[in-house]
């Protein structure tokens, strides 16, 4: 192994402006700093991410995020060996802002730069949090994404399936909205579900009757809306118990779909060293527990990285950039921002584009 690499990571593809400094020595990465500026308060009133507002906020906050990451690390930019920046997929305005900043820093200081696929950042996270070895299966499950990836190498991914419409995080957020709970909906729905009766409502398990690992969550959202309206029509409103029962019924359906599709994706992944999960929805206790049980029943290692590295962050971009750099890839001033950039270019395109940007 060569000398340790000091890497600056930059992420701005969705609604988080992030910068991180990693010191990477072989397989071991020390996250020196990882700064994330969220935009929840900016988009709150609109019920989804507004691309133009997101882009402006990234432009305002990117410099600050990088400065803060360097200051807290007590490092000067000149100490940075590599700049890794998200070059897609995502909302074009934000991605462009990050790529332009990286190009400026790289050109003015003569520091090598590398464009990173945001999904590769998520997919390679278990490598720096848990030193996971290739190949492994990853379930990426967030507000914008839902897919199974066989991670074969730093830039070698096979997509085994994914959502054909909404991501589960979107369905959690919509459920919370329909029931008058706080945003982001995932934690609120999980908390309500803990008080609910799982037997009362039975929601559909979409696409379980279809072979393969593709998933669908938009019908589940509609089923929840109908059940809610049914209760309101009967009783004139929703009690706290009705809300909790609806939440647990919804969550149980998501858990069942993810477990059954994971079982199929694992069966289609011979030779893997383990199973990992990433993305904001991976914070959900019942989902983590069910995937842990599934892995145990198959005698497979299961990795769920710490939440700060499951949700969007720049440490994962720094790591993924370093892996690609060590494999010999470099970017130059022709680096383009790509709103769509599937990790597995050979897999058929997934339908749809979530509220947070393109799915793949």
Q: Which is nearer to Zn ion, 120 or 266 (CB)?
A: 120
Instruction: Please report how close the Cβ of residue 196 comes to ligand KG4 at its closest, in angstroms.
Output: 14
d(CA 248, CA 280): 19
d(CA 252, CA 94): 35
Instruction: Please report how close the Cβ of residue 48 comes to ligand KG4 at its closest, in angstroms.
Output: 11
Q: Which is nearer to Zn ion, 312 or 323 (CB)?
A: 312
**What 3-state class would DSSP assign to 159?**
strand
Is residue 172 near ligand KG4 by the rule CB under 6 A? yes
Q: Which is nearer to ligand KG4, 22 or 281 (CB)?
A: 281
Partner from Zn ion, ligand KG4, none binding residue 187, C-beta < 5-8 Å depending on class: ligand KG4
Instruction: Please report how close the Cβ of residue 15 comes to ligand KG4 at its closest, in angstroms.
Output: 8
Is residue 154 near ligand KG4 by the rule CB under 6 A? no
d(CA 97, CA 53): 13
Decide: residue 1, CB within 10 A, 0-12 exposed, 13-18 middle, 19+ buried: exposed
Give the footprint of ligand KG4 on residues 285-324 (CB under 6 A).
311-312
Is residue 142 near ligand KG4 by the rule CB under 6 A? yes
> Are the C-beta atoms of 22 and 9 separated by less than 8 Å?
yes
d(CA 172, CA 251): 8
Q: Per-residue contact track with ligand KG4, 257 to 286, x per CB under 6 A?
A: ----------------------xxx-xx--
End-to-end CA distance of the chain: 34
Q: Which is nearer to Zn ion, 167 or 176 (CB)?
A: 167
Is residue 173 near ligand KG4 by the rule CB under 6 A? yes
**275-278: strand order across its sheet:** 156-162, 146-153, 136-141, 275-278, 302-303
Q: Which is nearer to Zn ion, 214 or 312 (CB)?
A: 312
Give the footprint of ligand KG4 on residues 195-224 (CB under 6 A).
none
Q: How many CB atoms lie within 10 A of CB 204?
A: 14
Partner from Zn ion, ligand KG4, none binding residue 34, C-beta < 5-8 Å depending on class: none
The residue within the footprint of ligand KG4, chosen from 143, 162, 339, 342 (CB under 6 A), is: 143
Partner from ligand KG4, Zn ion, none binding residue 185, C-beta < 5-8 Å depending on class: ligand KG4
Cis peptide bond prior to 135, omega within 30° of 0: yes
Is residue 173 near Zn ion by the rule CB under 5 A? no
Which residues have a Cβ under 8 Å from the Cβ of 229 and sit 6 or more positions away?
none
- Residue 16 has what DSSP assignment? E
Is residue 14 near ligand KG4 by the rule CB under 6 A? yes
Is residue 312 near Zn ion by the rule CB under 5 A? yes
**At residue 348, what are phi and psi to the nearest 5 degrees?**
-60, 150
Ranges of H-type helices in the chain: 40-43, 51-73, 92-109, 118-130, 168-178, 185-193, 218-235, 240-267, 285-297, 307-310, 315-326
Partner from ligand KG4, Zn ion, none binding residue 283, C-beta < 5-8 Å depending on class: ligand KG4
**Which range, of 29-37, 77-85, 106-114, 181-189, touches ligand KG4 by CB under 6 A?**
181-189
Q: Which is nearer to ligand KG4, 89 or 135 (CB)?
A: 89
Is residue 214 near Zn ion by the rule CB under 5 A? no
Helix (H) or strand (E) holding 148: strand 146-153
CB closest to Zn ion, residue no: 312
What is the contact surface with ligand KG4 in residues (CB under 6 A)?
14, 142-144, 169, 172-173, 184-187, 190, 279-281, 283-284, 311-312, 356
What is the contact surface with Zn ion in residues (CB under 5 A)?
312
């Amino acid at each position: 192994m060569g000398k340790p690499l000091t890497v600056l990571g930059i992420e701005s593809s969705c609604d988080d402006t992030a910068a991180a400094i990693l010191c990477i020595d072989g397989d071991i990465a020390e996250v020196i700093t990882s700064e994330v500026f969220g935009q929840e308060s900016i988009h709150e009133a609109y019920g989804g991410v507004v691309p133009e507002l997101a882009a402006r906020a990234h432009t305002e906050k990117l410099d600050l995020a990088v400065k803060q990451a360097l200051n807290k690390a007590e490092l000067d930019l000149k100490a940075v060996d590599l700049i890794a920046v998200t070059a897609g997929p995502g909302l074009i305005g934000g991605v462009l802002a990050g790529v332009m900043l990286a190009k400026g820093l790289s050109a003015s200081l003569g520091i090598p730069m590398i464009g990173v696929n945001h999904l590769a950042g998520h997919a390679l996270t278990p490598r720096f949090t848990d030193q996971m070895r290739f190949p492994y299966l990853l379930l990426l499950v967030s507000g914008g994404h839902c897919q199974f990836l066989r991670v074969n190498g730093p830039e070698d991914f096979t997509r085994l399936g994914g959502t054909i419409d909404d991501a589960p995080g979107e369905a959690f957020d919509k459920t919370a909205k329909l029931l008058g709970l706080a945003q982001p909906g995932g934690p609120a729905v999980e908390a309500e579900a803990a008080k609910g009766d799982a037997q009362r409502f039975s929601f559909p398990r979409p696409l379980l009757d279809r072979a393969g690992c593709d998933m669908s969550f938009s019908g589940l959202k509609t089923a929840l809306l109908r059940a809610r309206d049914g209760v309101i029509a009967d009783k004139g409103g929703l009690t706290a118990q009705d809300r909790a029962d609806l939440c647990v019924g919804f969550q149980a359906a998501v858990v069942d779909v993810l477990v059954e599709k994971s079982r199929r994706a694992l069966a289609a992944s011979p030779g893997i060293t383990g199973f990992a999960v990433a993305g904001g929805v991976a914070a959900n206790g019942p989902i983590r527990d069910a995937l842990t049980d599934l892995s145990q029943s198959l005698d497979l290692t299961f990795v769920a990285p710490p939440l700060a590295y499951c949700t969007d962050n720049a440490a994962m971009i720094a790591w993924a950039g370093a892996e690609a750099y060590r494999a010999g890839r470099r970017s130059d001033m022709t680096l383009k921002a790509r709103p769509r950039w599937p990790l597995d270019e050979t897999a058929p395109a997934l339908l749809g584009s979530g509220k947070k940007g393109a799915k793949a």
